[in-house]
Structure 1
């Protein structure tokens, strides 16, 4: 597991290319909140938007996740369940702190993900301007 990339994966790079082409600037692999030992793949600090691009296997994608692995199924089902619980906890903590969370699967089209992220960032910036 330690050989698995935690940043700069193919899906992340593709989404980041689209976001950069749209003129958006961001931070990569950052903890959105001080003291939160969880890192978002892409962070728009001033707009308070955190983007997570989840791997299908590691986060239990309903389309592509493999519910039953042949090697040590008890461990893997528990591991994926813990990952999903941690994801939900992260989303709740960020929302409680006023952040918008965009969570997508690695198999989603990078151009569509970038459009979703751009609209979320624009909405967050508009809300910030109004207050």
Structure 2
């Protein structure tokens, strides 16, 4: 199936997609800050440049977009155009995620992944529930948590 917009328009649209300060990330930051958590953003010294870094809890939080990380939910669908490119691109993103997880775990960092589908779409959870789950995890001694749409 051909794309419905010209190549230069598609290129401009794709270039406009943010890698930092995304809507899911901003929702998490606002909610955690309101709960009294203080954090750093996008620490380049850590593997994967986590979205939210909470040094006091030795924890990091990633707000993963379901499309870009190939999540198995209703928000992810393989594009019909240039399938080889997208399989390579998303496959590489998944490999980087695995290496990042391993490097952070080896360094002793606790990790949380909040999937986009937990915050948007038909399976989204109430924002208060997502923030509460993150806060409970931060106060616990659990190593890892993954929050996905219900």
TM class by shorter chain equals 0.7 to 0.9
Is residue 55–residue 106 contact of structure 1 (8 Å, CA) maintained in 2? Answer: yes
What is the CA–CA distance in structure 2 between the aligned matches of 1:32 and 1:12, rounded to whole Å? Answer: 19
Secondary structure of the corresponding residue to residue 71 of structure 1: coil
What is the CA–CA distance in structure 2 between the aligned matches of 1:99 and 1:49, rounded to whole Å? Answer: 5
Query: Which residue in the other structure is 1:23 paired with?
Result: 36
Is residue 32–residue 50 contact of structure 1 (8 Å, CA) maintained in 2? Answer: no
What is the CA–CA distance in structure 2 between the aligned matches of 1:112 and 1:81, rounded to whole Å? Answer: 31
The CA deviation string for residues 60-96 of structure 1, in whole angstroms up to 9 with x for no partner, is: 11112112x1220001011111101111111111011
RMSD: 1.6
1:111 offset after TM fit, Å?
Answer: 2.6
TM-score for the superposition, normalised by structure 2? 0.73
1:32 offset after TM fit, Å?
Answer: 5.5
Corresponding position: 1:12 with 2:25: yes
Secondary structure of the corresponding residue to residue 57 of structure 1: coil
The CA deviation string for residues 26-85 of structure 1, in whole angstroms up to 9 with x for no partner, is: 11122353xx3x211110013211100111110011112112x12200010111111011
> Which of 43, 50, 59 matches 1:40?
50
Query: Which residue in the other structure is 1:105 paired with?
Result: 115
Query: Which residue in the other structure is 2:98 paired with?
Result: 88
Is residue 54–residue 104 contact of structure 1 (8 Å, CA) maintained in 2? Answer: yes
Structure 1 gap segments, 5+ residues each: 125-131
What is the CA–CA distance in structure 2 between the aligned matches of 1:117 and 1:102, rounded to whole Å? Answer: 8
